[in-house]
Structure 1
Amino acid sequence: MFDDYRRRRAIARVKPGNGRPLKRFRWWQTFSRSLFFLPQGGSVYAVDVRQWQQFTTEDGKGKAQLYLNGVQVAVSTLPAVFEVPGGVIEVASSPFGLKRCHYVSDDGAERQLTPDPASSEGRRARLDRDHPGLSRTIGVLSVLLLLIPLALAVPQVLEAITKVPPIAERFGPFVSPVDLSAWQNIALGLVAAAASTERAARLRYNRLLDTVG
């Protein structure tokens, strides 16, 4: 995901941590916090991301915190790249959660970090492990719940665009075959947001689908 230039820039943004201890994951943080672990060389790294920060900070990017054996050692704005022995940890977010939290070794091999069992990512991983068939069904349903609102929204957007006088004069108006009420469009948006949230729990992200969601 990170080319050499972006990786160097991300590494340059990393600041030293303040040494505070890692707080335990609480049940009420299920949809507001992501916590992942990486056992490495006899130590345990943890990446802690508070999702709400991207909506409260001025830059809208949020932060990732890196802990080593329960002690904060580094902080960075997202997307983040933390250097660890043997490679780096890459962290990137979407509006609905994380889309990447992977360890990338110096030889290019990568693997996703292990989510805290109490987090939404951890619960979703457990569902995938214990009930793979149901997990696949939910994954397919999430894609459909993103494709349907997209298919219904595009004609309405085109109609609105072609009503702009310069465009209407040159290309003529387009009449959408879909005419939903404001409440129906809001409901579709909420459905799409729920689907994108489910996909974020699996660290799945598509620029078109999940941005629309």
Structure 2
Amino acid sequence: MSRRRKPSKKIRAGNGSALKPYRRWECLWRSTFSIALKDGDHEDDQLREYTVDVDYFDWDIRLYTDGVQTAVGSYPVRFPVPGGLIHADLSLYGAQRMHYEPGVGDPVLLKPHRNSLEGLRAAFARRHPLASRIISWTAIATLLIGLAVFIPLLVQRISEIEWVAENIGTFVSPINLPGWLNGTLLVAGIFAALERALTIRSHWLIDADTWWLD
């Protein structure tokens, strides 16, 4: 395995408790993601279900094997499982990584619980693939527009630092939007980021947080 695919060092043993049933009303703060994996490479090896339980208001992510808690780690975390790792990570808006990373081959997205927000979004994508793609591309376009507006503002803020202004000079952003439009972009960006989180998609540039520049 490459360095980036090594298991996390600060993984604690689980307490053996049972996975709590998922309630629909928990969708605002909790999600579960599952995948079935074999114990080994033989056809008669036992198939086990691995479930990641996420509370978005908790630093810890819990791993369950066949419904029993077997490991706990703080995100981002990579749990060792048969044949590879389960990589779980969160962002400000939700899950940004929830994949099984095999030793060989491409990562596989874990299946969200059908009653979670991620599960409902996935069901919508299956029923309405065209509308789903339009929403996804609209979210990307919204975030890219936000970057186009806020990156010059970031450069301007940096140029206002005394040492930078004296030794390099100042920069004034050519984009000067009215307050109501800045606010609209901010709100649209939040919804776009939530859409990206619900589909568990993340890109270092597209999904960069820019709200703190507003």
TM-score, with length taken from structure 2: 0.83
The CA RMSD measured in Å over matched residues stands at: 2.2
Letter of the 1:212 counterpart? D
Distance in 1 separating the partners of 2:175 and 2:102: 49
Distance in 1 separating the partners of 2:157 and 2:86: 44
> 2:153 maps to what in 1?
156
Distance in 2 separating the partners of 1:145 and 1:92: 23
Please give the residue correspondences for 1:193-208 in structure 2 after superposition, counting only pairs within 5 Å: 193-208=190-205
Distance in 1 separating the partners of 2:189 and 2:11: 34
> 2:187 maps to what in 1?
190
Which runs of no fewer than 5 residues in structure 2 stay unpaired? 39-46
> 1:4 maps to what in 2?
2
Distance in 2 separating the partners of 1:131 and 1:119: 18
Residues 1:92 and 2:89 aligned together? yes
Decide whether the 8 Å contact of 2:5 with 2:85 is kept in 1: no
> 1:130 maps to what in 2?
127
Change (3 A) 1:14 1:149: same
Identity among equivalent pairs (%): 37
Please give the residue correspondences for 1:1-213 in structure 2 after superposition, counting only pairs within 5 Å: 4-8=2-6, 10=8, 12-41=9-38, 42-53=47-58, 62-180=59-177, 184-213=181-210
Which runs of no fewer than 5 residues in structure 1 stay unpaired? 54-61
Q: List 4+ stretches of structure 1 deviating above 6 A.
A: none
Change (3 A) 1:8 1:140: closer
Cα deviation, residue 134, structure 1: 0.3
Equivalenced residue count is: 202
> 2:42 maps to what in 1?
none
Letter of the 1:83 counterpart? P
TM-score, with length taken from structure 1: 0.83
